[in-house]
Structure 1
Amino acid sequence: MADVVVDPGVPPEDAQLLKESRQVLIKMRQGWTPEPRRAVSSARVRVLVAFMLVSLGVIAGAGLLGRGLATLMFILLGIPVMVMMFVRNELPGEEREGFERDVYEQLRWYEGRYVLTEDLDESASRLLTRARRAVSTVRDSRVNADGLLDDVRNAVMLPAQEWEIARLLAKLSALRTKHRETVSRGLTPEVEAVAAPLARALDSSEEAVLARVEALERYAANVTDAERAYVAHHQIEELRGRVHQYEELVAETGADGFAVPELERLAEDADLLDQALRRSLSSAHEAFRHLEP
């Protein structure tokens, strides 16, 4: 899974850039800002000076052979110098710096609208992993792709649930880390009387987020049941479509007593699977309603 959870309200192109720029985001989170863009880098200046010195040496040598040849050499060597002065191609060491600067300029406005997995403590990280696994189970299921669930509402609700859980866990982790740092230095009885209820508030907040995650997991479990019934339903239908071929084969081989009862069970199994699929889809829709605010 990606290491960045993005607010669904961020434009898709910027959201994708956020997800692909984790290292830059970590540096930004630590207070990094890029240096101002330079018209011509010092490295490029050194390259140009060396190039021009060599060029002048070559032109001077050509001048000894004739004015026309010197003029030609000046033109041939001067044009590349001018091109290098004005084209903004970065040298190898500057390419990364230029990329990071561009990312910074685009994404500096989105602070607070993304969560890095590095923002979470161990307990919160486990909860987010569970939530994202449940979301993936629903999103990647065949019953969702084939429209047996409310795929349109899923497309809106699931990213919103994932983001809200990640956002709350990031706030919880930050506050819990500060709380632990304060408590670790030792508390007087007076301060301990205040800190204890605050610790319980943190625990209650985690329990509330856990309830959200468990609701997502119940929905995903119902979708998994529906997925299993849906796949089995399709397999039974494939077999039923070939029943006449099986019947012809057993008739020709004289194996009627062995195979016919098994073939007759296909229709019964198909009916049972249809019922199971309807029940599991109904349960999934019911679980979905519990996720809505």
Structure 2
Amino acid sequence: MVDPDIPEDDRRRIVGNERLAFRGAVPQGRGVGALVVAGCLALDGLLGRRWLPPGLAFMMTGGGLVFIGAALVHLVHGRQGSPQRLMRRYGERYVVPADLDAEAHSALFRAGQAVQEVYASRVHRTGLLDPVANDVVLPRQLWEIARLLRSHSILRAEQRQAAQGVVTPELRAVLDPQRAALARSVTAVERRVAMLEAYARRVQEADAALRAQDLLGGNDKYRALLARTDDMEGLRDLTLRADAVEGTLARSVQDAVAAGHTLATLPDGL
């Protein structure tokens, strides 16, 4: 999970980068070694002009210089995406699975699943929902949840470590308020996750109403069937139900949009 405010190029370098999966040491690049090899090749070509055939010396020199140019380009681009640079610059602005304990993993999975359900919905794809709420607010909410869950995981580990051994009244006097503060934050994040899930449910209800509206296109066949049996009551009932579906769709979309707007009012921190 990555802070959406990180520049797009660096976000792409971070997402799915296996070398950032753990926050320990990351392997060093080999760009400098390539430059050394290229430099030696070019130098050998220049010095060898006295005793090598001219064509071979020229090829060694030219090839070495081309290799140096390519290595420099590779080195510059490699440094831009190097784990060292990304970790140094954005270490606190992305969350990897190893940062989270089981409880945090579960909460983040629920939040991510809710967001994916919104993105997969037909009402989102057809533009019936507020695009700002989905394209701007949802990534921001996911990041805030992930960031807070990482803090919860760290603090729970610290609490477990502190509670090992004999727990004296003095130690309990320190731990109890800390645990209470952590519990309040966990509850607040749970509410935030629940709001995402409620939004996803509203969106799914709007999708269901949209599917029902699609089925109204087949009502002509049923009207014709009822007309052949002179079932006027059935015709009236079919028409009333069609009108109800239209109203349900409008209300469902309005409810989903309102739920999205509510998410937009949540603070960035808890």
TM bracket (short chain)? 0.7 to 0.9
102 and 148 in structure 1: CA distance in 2 versus 1, 3 angstrom threshold: closer
Residues 239-278 of structure 1 mapped to structure 2, 5 A cutoff: 239-240=218-219, 243=220, 247=224, 256-257=228-229, 266-278=238-250
Residues 16-31 of structure 1 mapped to structure 2, 5 A cutoff: 16-21=12-17, 23-26=18-21, 29-31=23-25
Deviation at 1:265, TM superposition (A): 5.9
Residues 1-293 of structure 1 mapped to structure 2, 5 A cutoff: 5-21=1-17, 23-26=18-21, 29-32=23-26, 34=28, 37-38=31-32, 40=34, 74-86=53-65, 87-88=67-68, 101-104=79-82, 107=86, 108-237=88-217, 239-240=218-219, 243=220, 247=224, 256-257=228-229, 266-291=238-263, 292-293=265-266
| Unaligned runs of at least 5 residues, structure 1 | 61-70
Deviation at 1:157, TM superposition (A): 1.0
Matched residues in 2 for 1:139 and 1:75: separation? Answer: 64
40 and 265 in structure 1: CA distance in 2 versus 1, 3 angstrom threshold: same
Give 2:4's aligned amino acid: P
173 and 244 in structure 1: CA distance in 2 versus 1, 3 angstrom threshold: closer
With structure 1 as the length reference, what TM-score do the two structures score? 0.72
Give 1:11's aligned amino acid: P
Matched residues in 2 for 1:170 and 1:196: separation? Answer: 21
What secondary structure is seen at the aligned counterpart in 1 of 2:95?
strand
**1:135-182 alpha-carbon deviations (Å, 9 max, x no partner):** 111122111222222122321111111111111111111121122122
Preserved CA contact (<8 Å) 2:148 2:189:
yes
**1:84-123 alpha-carbon deviations (Å, 9 max, x no partner):** 4231457xxxx9x997644226523222111112211100
Q: Aligned residues: percent identity?
A: 32
Matched residues in 1 for 2:78 and 2:166: separation? Answer: 42
Q: How many corresponding residue pairs?
A: 254
With structure 2 as the length reference, what TM-score do the two structures score? 0.77
Matched residues in 2 for 1:246 and 1:196: separation? Answer: 69
Give 1:34's aligned amino acid: Q
Deviation at 1:288, TM superposition (A): 2.7
Preserved CA contact (<8 Å) 1:24 1:100:
no
Coordinate RMSD, CA, aligned: 3.6
Deviation at 1:259, TM superposition (A): 10
Deviation at 1:261, TM superposition (A): 8.4
